[in-house]
Amino acid sequence: MRLQYPSGIRIICLPCTGKVDLLHLLHCFEKGADGVYVVGCLEGACQFNTGNLRARKRVALAQEILEKIGLGGDRVQMYNLSSSEAPRFVQIAEEMTQKILKLGPNPIKLARRKMAA
């Protein structure tokens, strides 16, 4: 359908959201990402039965950690959709972009800049 969505998003493919490691999520923020979201199959429709459910738990944990360390738990999110739902994909991309714009840049980035200045 070639629906347009915000261009600030980069996709990293994995075989299943079950492979998304908590460390991967945190590593992104450590390196300066402003937001990360995990997009998995609809719940109940995971090709590997439970991968997306595991991912959801890890995202929740990442949220908790980010919240605790002051980065903001909302910077990481989990979404579920099926491969035929392009409009929903766009909706998610827009929603996430808006969310991050509202939250502003990764505080680590700002702190580093301050330090450099």
Partner 1 sequence: MCPVELPSEYDQGLATRKAVYKQYAQAIPGAFTIQKGDKAPCRLACPAGLNVQGYVQMVKEGKYKEALEIIMEDLPLPGVLGRICPHGCEEACRRCDKDEPVAIRDLKRLAADRFDPRHIEVRCSPPRAERVAIIGSGPAGLSAAYHLVKKGIRSTIFEALPQPGGMLRVGIPEHRLPRNILDREIELITNLGVEIKTNTSLCADLTVDDLFGKGYKAVYLATGSHKGIGLGIPGEKARGVQQGVEFLRELNLTGRAKVGTKVAVIGGGNVAIDVARSAVRLGAEEVTILYRRTRAEMPAWEEERVEAEAEGVKINYLSAPQEVLVEDGKVAALRCIRMELGEPDSSGRRRPIPVPGTEYEINADQVIPAIGQVPDLSALEDIEGLSFSRWGTVEADTITYATGRDGVFAGGDLHTGPWIAIGAVAAGREAAESILRYLDGRDMTEGRRAAPNEHPVYRPVPDKEPRKERGKMPTLSPRERQGNFNEVELGYDEITGREEAGRCLNCGYCCECYQCVAACGPHAITLETHRETTRKVELKVGSVILAPGFAVFDPSRYKTYDYLNRPNIITSLEFERILSASGPTMGHLVRPSDGKEPRNIAWLQCVGSRDVNRADHGYCSSVCCMYAIKEAIISKEHAKKELDCAIFFMDMRTHGKDFERYYDTAREKHGVRFIRSRVHSIDSLCDTGDLVLKYASEEGEVIEETFDMVVLSVGMETPKSTVELAQTLGLSLTEGKFCATHPFTPVSTSREGIYVCGVFQGPKDIPQCVTEASAAACAAAVDLSSARWTQTKSKEIPEEVDVSSQEPRIGVFVCNCGTNIGGIIEVPSLAQYASILPHVVYAEQNLFTCAQDTQDRMKQLIREHKLNRVVVAACTPRTHEPLFQETMQACGLNKFLFEMANIRNQDSWVHSGDPASATDKAKDLVRMAVARAALLKPLSAKRIPVNKRALVVGGGVAGMTSALSLGDQGFEVILVEKEPRLGGAALDLTHTIEGVRIPEYLLGLEARIAGHEKIQVLTESLIVGFSGFKGNFTTEVMVGPGMYERKIDHGVVIMATGASEYKPTEYRYGEDRRILTQIELGKRLEEKGAEDLNHVVMIQCVGSRNEAFPNCSRICCQSAIKNALHIKHLNPETEVSILYRDIRTYGELEYYYRQARREGVRFFRFHRDEPPQVSTRDGGLSVTFKDHVLQRNLRLKADLLVLSAGVRPSDTEESAAIFKLPRNPDGYFMEAHVKLRPVDMTNEGIYVCGTAHGPKLISEAVSQAMAASSRAAVFLSQSEISLSPVTAKVDGERCASCLICVRVCPYGVPHISKEGVSEIDEALCRGCGICAAECPAKAIELSWYEDAQVMSKVDALLEGVL
Using DSSP, state whether 94 is helix, strand or coil: helix
- Give the integer Cα–Cα distance in Å for 32 and 44: 33
- Work out whether 51 is an interface residue with partner 1 (CB under 8 A): yes
State the number of binding residues for partner 1 (CB under 8 A): 41
Q: How far is the CB of 76 from partner 1 (least distance, A)?
A: 13
CA 102 vs CA 33, 72, 78, 84: distances in Å = 15, 11, 18, 29
> Which C-beta is closer to partner 1: that of 12 or that of 68?
12
Q: Which of residues 56-85 bind partner 1 (CB under 8 A)?
A: 58, 84-85
Residue 47 interacts with partner 1 (CB under 8 A)?
A: yes
Tell me the closest approach of the beta carbon of residue 80 to partner 1, in angstroms: 14
- The encoded tokens of residue 44 equal 């109940």
Residue 16 in 3-state DSSP? coil
Please say whether the beta carbons of 80 and 41 come within 8 A.
yes
Residues forming the site for partner 1 (CB under 8 A): 1-5, 7-8, 10-16, 18-24, 27-28, 31-33, 47-51, 54, 58, 84-88, 108-109, 112
